[in-house]
Structure 1
């Protein structure tokens, strides 16, 4: 079995778990590959691990059976953009804080590898959002797992985002910005702006304004079969758009449309995983310090 490990960075205290992870993969006779970014971090940390190959280029991912993302949710989002249309199942090991996506605790690394090789897991297909424009943007990676965002730049003035659903006018949002989130992304930026939580398997997008001028404007859920297009106005000639954690500046002449990507992200979830249990734990639902 060929498995790639990817990560952007980790603290030195995580080194023993990295060594344990690679040793567990070797125990199960897996061929271990490391992305260059992860190898550099591991080398810098002084981790003592051997028996791996450095991934030469992204195309080599095509032969992998799994990719293990080591880091927080941001690292897993980066892993999704790297894997792309190869649709390789991704297992997230959490070294961050929230862990909505990377759900395996570092203390459970050994157990997680046992469960993986015992095939006690399911593969969840998560919807990706795709951005299309008349200009080349995002270096050929125009998709994200969480959200697409339009945001003001270099000014305290709000912007106006004229929004259309399948060509039909929806609304002009006077706001600091506008988010279109997937069900997976509903627990991220959209949630912090008052958007609803959506079950990961739902077939929807949620449109959430960022600090809207009109308080009667509310988030709206639409089908992920929709094409959502925008035109932007504001005092500034430049605006920021982002896909997950990747941002770029565009001018008001850019034609922007988002829709569901034709491929999906495949996340490995063990049989004892529950989205609702994760919500309760991460959001402290039902917690009362008086009790």
Structure 2
């Protein structure tokens, strides 16, 4: 088995679980490749001398990898997606962050999780992505024109709202007067969209959510649409440009630029161990069913 490992941040209390992860992989004769910057950081912090083969970009990976392990929080998994892209390498998220809707393996469950992987005691859940185009074409997104969680347009450098004229499959929907507008996948429905009043959507649903950010027209509400829908935005406002974010990556576009959002032509494969589930994660992370009145 061939495994890639990536972590975005090193944390002071990471010593134990990084060593545990590597030990569990080594003793099972798993071939380990580690993101170059991550290996440099934890080798320095832990005084380790073992150097594993490394990778530093998407072009260093290929379909010979059986698994990709993301060590961190959900933000780390969003960065992991930029390495994996359309290679169909399943991702296992080890949570060393806070909330962890995507990175669901707790750091005290590493041994149990690796054993489950070896025994193939897991399911692979496919997560849809969004893809952006612009008219006129813009090179600001280069080849990173996709997002796992959401794509959002928002105001820039002003307290004034923007107007987002919105069309679905070419038909006019409405014009939102708001701080911005979010288009979310089911994966992203527990993130930015949720904080703006959007619904939670289970991962297997073939839907997107359009969620306004602080709308002035108070009757504007989140809208669930089929994921085959093509969404078009035309943004205007007092500033000459506006912001577009793809997950955590932010770019600027000129007013008058048409933004076209649709389903990406590939999916991300997430490993869901058989002792966990999305509904269990919801209960744990959102404290559903817990009486907090005392």
TM-score (norm 2): 0.96
Partner of 2:157: 154
Partner of 2:28: 28
Structure 2: distance between partners of 1:18 and 1:214: 49
Q: Is contact 1:3–1:31 with CA below 8 Å preserved after alignment?
A: yes
The CA deviation at 1:272 is 1.3
Structure 1: distance between partners of 2:167 and 2:45: 49
Structure 1: distance between partners of 2:237 and 2:19: 52
Structure 1: distance between partners of 2:213 and 2:85: 28
Structure 1: distance between partners of 2:235 and 2:220: 17
Partner of 2:88: 87
After superposition, the C-alpha distances for 1:223-270 in whole angstroms (9 at most, x for unaligned) are 000100111000001111011111111111322111111100000110
Structure 2 residue ranges without an equivalent (≥5): none
Structure 2: distance between partners of 1:225 and 1:64: 30
Structure 2: distance between partners of 1:207 and 1:261: 16
After superposition, the C-alpha distances for 1:86-114 in whole angstroms (9 at most, x for unaligned) are 12100000010001000000011111111
Partner of 2:243: 240
Partner of 1:221: 224
The CA deviation at 1:38 is 1.5
Q: Is contact 1:69–1:75 with CA below 8 Å preserved after alignment?
A: yes
Higher helix share: 1
Q: How does 1:1-291 map to 2 (within 5 A)?
A: 1-46=1-46, 48=48, 50=50, 52-55=52-55, 57-62=57-62, 63-133=64-134, 134-290=137-293
- Look up the SS of the partner of 2:85 in the other structure: helix
- Look up the SS of the partner of 1:116 in the other structure: helix
Structure 1: distance between partners of 2:38 and 2:258: 36
Q: Is contact 1:162–1:230 with CA below 8 Å preserved after alignment?
A: yes
The CA deviation at 1:139 is 3.2
Structure 1: distance between partners of 2:111 and 2:237: 53
Structure 1 residue ranges without an equivalent (≥5): none
The RMSD of aligned alpha carbons is 1.3
The CA deviation at 1:56 is 5.3
The CA deviation at 1:49 is 6.2
- Look up the SS of the partner of 1:160 in the other structure: strand
Structure 1: distance between partners of 2:133 and 2:6: 28
Structure 1: distance between partners of 2:164 and 2:7: 35
Aligned residues: 291
